[in-house]
Amino acid sequence: MNKFLLSLSACFSSMAFANEKAVHQPEFWSPVVEHQIQRDIPQYLGYTDNAGLLMSSYDPSSVSSGYLGFLQSAEMISNLVFASVVAVAVLFAVFVLINGRAKLSDGFSGKLIPRWSVGDVILHWCVAIPCIVLILTGFVIGAGKVWLAPMMTQAHFHSLVYASVVFHNIFAIPFIIAAVILMVKWSKLQMPESCDVKWFMALGGYINLGKPKHPDAGFANAGEKAFFWCFTLFGLALAATGLLLLFPEMFGTLSKNGALLALIIHIVSAVVLGAFSVVHIYMGAVMSEGGMENMLSGKCDENWAKQNHNLWYAKVQDQTK
């Protein structure tokens, strides 16, 4: 921080004395250090840097060759991260362009029904906003070397990675806290029901290449439940391994294999959850007409409820009688 303030001060000083001879100031952003150790993976900025995990502190023959083989495949990992975010987004966008949105058959009624409390709406965005930041910064960290570095100078790429690591680590904590609260609070609404199988068989009624079908659904349809439990499983895996990589000293003695396995689980979980999150964003914000309003106002249109969550709508009507 002191170096940053000194650098910033020097920058302003040079601007104030523009008429004097310009003096080149040192760059603020430090380059990303990467070095290859025999029978090890490249150590990147942002990964756990426990001295006990360095080559001189452990027996290389005790390290899993399978773990190393996976983590040394930097290009493969980059392509997986790219596919989970960019490729899935492009494919889904093409699907929406061909298939069209799932519109309300009877249009908007203009009558709104309470669906989420104010607290639930706030909780959702406390999870969603950090999640988006983590996906974008994780993309830079995990896939940037292959997909972004060739598009910019080395100095710009180093700055981008450094900033991404900082934001990734900062937003991880509020994401973990809000996500765990959401998982516990919403789990009772995501339990399997008999109508879920038929919902999947009808693909949720989102295919418009024939006569659209609107399968039965309770408060949450089968697709929303699938995303929730995927989010819970892989989100907890990301949270646990992320904390382990950020604060290894909190978990006692960490073996080299333990650190490598945590990194693998973190990468795989990020790839799976990243793909599911992209689809979830499309479904809520683009695909389903009237769906986005749920998480903006906490209310939904009556015709939206009838078409997409008819079993829940029927219960609401019975309770209001």
Query: What's the CA gap between 166 and 212, in Å, rounded?
Result: 46
Q: In a 3-state reduction of DSSP, which class is residue 213?
A: coil
Which residue from 314, 318, 296 is spatially nearest to 305, judged by alpha carbons?
314
Model confidence, pTM? 0.81
Digit-coded pLDDT (tens) for 266-308: 999 999 999 999 999 999 889 889 999 999 999 999 999 999 9
Question: What mean pLDDT is predicted for residues 160-167?
Answer: 92
Pairwise CA distance, residues 114 & 137, whole Å: 35
Confidence at 210, pLDDT banded by 50, 70, 90: low
Question: According to the model, what pLDDT value does residue 101 have?
Answer: 87
CA-to-CA dists, residue 72 to 39, 41, 138, 259, 272, angstroms = 10, 6, 18, 14, 20
Q: Token digits for 305? A: 């409820």
pLDDT in tens, 190-199: 999 999 999 9
Taking Cα atoms as reference points, which of 139, 152, 147 lies closest to residue 273? 139
pLDDT at 13 over 50: no
